Each structure stands twice: as C-alpha cells, then as structure tokens.
Chain A
C-alpha cells in the first residue's frame, strides 16, 4: 500500500500575499482557522472543492498550491 503525502505551500503563499492571516484565508474559503492550520501542517487533506477555493484565493492552479509526494 502506498503512503502518498499531500503537501502544500499555503503558508508561503499567505505570506507572499501580504501576510494574509489564517483567519483571513479561512473566511475567504468558508472554513475555520483550525482547518487552515491543519492543512498547513499536512494533518488534513482537503476536499477537491476546498483545494480549488484555496487555489483561487491565490490566483494559482491547484497543483501549484498542493503537491502529491508519492511513496510507493
């Protein structure tokens, strides 16, 4: 069984976007701040819809925000 890991660059993108806070991002995508925190720490894998919403906030493609690290 593979243990793929979905990582992301949300934290860096937030700081690049004028030091946007977790709460600001959470409000814009309609989740709690804890969910943004869990995503940044790779503790929660978001749904595709949420991933797209996050990417749209930063004007990026989904794969520019989320990366799949494959571990066969």
Chain B
C-alpha cells in the first residue's frame, strides 16, 4: 500500500471515528436541550484532538510528498471542497424552499450544516484520494 492510500485510509478512519463520537454526542445534547456553551465544550473536546492529529500528520508528511503526490492531494482536496460547497448550497436552498423566506429554522441547523458539510468534504476527499492512488500499481 502506497503512502497516499495510507493517508486516505487514515483520514477516512479519523472522519468515521469523529462522526461516531460527534453525531450521538450532538444528538444527546440536542435532546437534553442544553445551552450553547455545552455544545462548544463538546465541540472542543472532539474537535481539538482531530485538528491536532490532522495538523501533525500534514506537517510530518509535507516534506516527503513528491510533485505528483502533491498534485493528487490537490485534486482530492478540490473535489472535497466542491462536495462541501454543493452540500452547503443544497442545504441552504432546501431550508429556504421548505420554510420560505419569512420562515425560521432552529439555530442548531447552522453548525449542524457546517459540520455535516465538513464530514462530507473530508469523506469525499479521502475516497477520491483512494481512487487516484489506486492507479499506483505496475
């Protein structure tokens, strides 16, 4: 397995673990109808380790990738970002069309939309990277 594949699998695993922790936690807090600060604390508890993990990996590996690998990473990031924008557009317009211009949505909808979008973006990025790295065989 080449290092791009390893990176893609590690990223996919990190996103999956984050989702497994964040989704039930988020739903639990929502069900208890806690204040915004509790969400923030929960977000920091789950988000900071993930952020540090990704930052550390990126720093450690940045010098090792050659130009083609950096190109493939860029391609994967491009598609991930595209998926994020697409999801954000669909979610925004879905809310608009469902409740109308004068309607209202719960405030929780905003961070939820952002985090689901980020999960989708990273998931798509990992899958695209896996696909691109799959061609690395002789």
State yes or no: do A and B come from one complex: yes
Is B66's CB within 8 Å of the partner chain A? yes
Can you name the residue of chain A whose Cβ is closest to the Cβ of B4?
A: A34
> How near does chain B come to A18, taking the closest CB pair, in angstroms?
20
**Which residues of chain B from 46 to 83 have any CB-CB distance to chain A below 8 Å in the complex?**
66-69, 71
> How near does chain A come to B74, taking the closest CB pair, in angstroms?
13
Which residues of B come within 8 Å of A, CB atoms? 2, 66-69, 71, 135-136, 138
Main secondary structure of the interface of B (DSSP, over half): loop
Tell me if B66 and A38 are in contact (CB < 8 A). Answer: no
A-B pairs, 6 with minimum CB distance: A31-B66, A34-B136, A35-B68, A44-B68, A32-B66, A47-B67
7 inter-chain pairs at a CB distance below 8 angstroms, sorted by A residue, are: A34-B2, A34-B68, A35-B66, A35-B69, A38-B135, A38-B136, A44-B71
Return chain A residues, CB-CB under 8 Å to B138: 22, 37
